[in-house]
Amino acid sequence: LEVEEALLCLDGAGPPDLRDLVIRLGGAILWISGQAETQDQGAARVAAALDDGSARRRFQLMLSAQGVDPGLAKALCSGSPTQRRQLLPHAREQEELLAPADGIVECVRALPLARVLHDLGAGRSRAGQPIRPGVGAEVLVDVGQCLSRGTPWLRVHLDGPALSSQQRRTLQGALVLSDRAPFKVPSPFAELVLP
């Protein structure tokens, strides 16, 4: 799921908050390393690389250099999102969780999600333990948006049986709703702290 999202970003699409973070962090790196006169110039270069496809082509070369079959690397970097999904590992089942009430998405807590996904095989506790690369979750809502009761807010990808009632409760506890007005979330790139 993360590779799919990264490839969408490399296509010049994907979640706006990921694109913003990539552009701003990349721009800062180019500026700090002397590759750009300012952070803004660096950010413009990163945005252009995402939009013109050169970042995706570079990623394809990186995949091949790290031992990925060149044909697979090319297919991942040139196919449609649907074609890519067929090439990547995916879980056997999907289960959506529904919003328990109306409200504004105040936040989605990461730790409860991580704990359940770890239990489902998306992580390991010891070196050498297998990881199920198709297991994961898609958060279907944005912080600040108005959500109606019964609307899907999370899609869990799993290989085993359905989620247990305890896992569902834990995941539902990750969604924090409020009754305030909808709001726009600030950039995840708060500030650049330099020595």
How many beta carbons lie within 10 A of that of residue 75, not counting itself?
15
Q: What is the pLDDT of residues 51-107, one digit of tens each?
A: 999 999 999 999 999 999 999 999 999 988 889 889 998 899 999 999 999 999 999
Residue 106, φ and ψ in degrees, nearest 5: -80, -45
Would you give the DSSP letter of residue 108? E
Domains of the chain listed by start with CATH number: 1-87 (no CATH), 93-178 (3.90.1170.30)
Cα 163 off chain centre by: 22
pLDDT in tens, 13-59: 888 889 999 999 999 999 999 999 999 999 999 999 999 999 999 99
pTM equals 0.84
| Alpha helix segments (H runs only) across 11-38 | 16-32
Measured distance CA(114)–CA(109) in Å, rounded: 9
The whole-angstrom separation of Cα 147 and Cα 103 is 5
